[in-house]
Amino acid sequence: MHSDDRRAVTSTKIVVAGGFGVGKTTFVGSVSEIMPLRTEALVTNESEGVDEVAAHTPGKTSTTVAMDFGRITLAPDLVLYLFGTPGQKRFWFMWDDLCVGAIGAIVVVDTERLDEAFSPLDYFEAKGIPFIVAVNQFEGTHRYDLDEVRGALALPDSVPMIHLDARHRESVKQALVRVTEYALERMTSSVAVPAS
């Protein structure tokens, strides 16, 4: 009798969220093994007075208006589907649909604009979706200690935090491994049966 060593492939969904221009599209694109689906539109003068984008990200010429989508195989039996949320507040109504079925989320933050991280953090906390915080490292910005960022965001010690360079595949993979581990830890602890 010949044994079959192949395991069933498990697929799961991770949401990548954060404010405008923090690196979500770059994150998905740097790690996806398929051509990422991007729903980007040009940033034009029409958004003046509606979006406050030019002051914080003067070189950014496009914005995600629905989602970014990518896929990565983390192990022979584990495939992650990545959904990047739009960062501008006027598109946040799509977040509920993008988060359906997600096991976890990565909130990408820019230390130059920490105030934009509070709404995404509150969102995932209210939804009960396990999340980690990934502090994106931009060229020419000061690298803060994670404890300093944790204090500024008033995050409990239980929320994992990591440094991230969204441009580099290995850095992004480590973020995905960490959020997957954290989601599994949370699932395991919620179904643990107390000893009798």
pLDDT for residue 67: 74
List all residues 6 or more positions away from 31 whose beta carbon is below 8 Å from its beta carbon. 70, 72, 82, 169, 172, 173, 176
Q: Does the residue 1 lie in any domain? A: no
Which strands make up the sheet holding 37-42, listed edge to edge? Answer: 37-42, 62-75, 78-84, 10-18, 102-109, 131-136, 161-164
Q: Does the residue 151 lie in any domain? A: yes
Q: Alpha carbon 114 to chain centroid distance?
A: 15
Q: Does the residue 90 lie in any domain? A: yes
List all residues 6 or more positions away from 56 whose beta carbon is below 8 Å from its beta carbon. 20, 21, 112, 113
Q: Does the residue 3 lie in any domain? A: no
Q: Does the residue 194 lie in any domain? A: no
**8 A C-beta contact, residue 7 and residue 79:** no
Q: Does the residue 179 lie in any domain? A: yes
Q: Which domain holds residue 77?
A: 10-189
Q: Alpha carbon 93 to chain centroid distance?
A: 17
pLDDT for residue 98: 87
Q: Does the residue 115 lie in any domain? A: yes
Dmax (CA) of the chain: 71
Q: Does the residue 195 lie in any domain? A: no
| pTM for this predicted structure | 0.81
CATH number of the domain residue 166 falls in = 3.40.50.300
Indicate the number of domains in the chain. 1
pLDDT in tens, 142-184: 889 999 999 999 999 999 999 999 999 999 999 999 999 999 9
Locate 70 and state its tokens: 């990518």
pLDDT for residue 42: 47
Over the chain (196 residues), the average pLDDT of each successive run of 10 is 64 92 91 76 50 51 64 90 82 82 96 92 96 91 92 97 96 95 90 60
pLDDT for residue 3: 47
Give the separation between CA 13 and CA 180, rounded to whole angstroms.
10
Q: In one letter, which amino acid is 73?
A: T
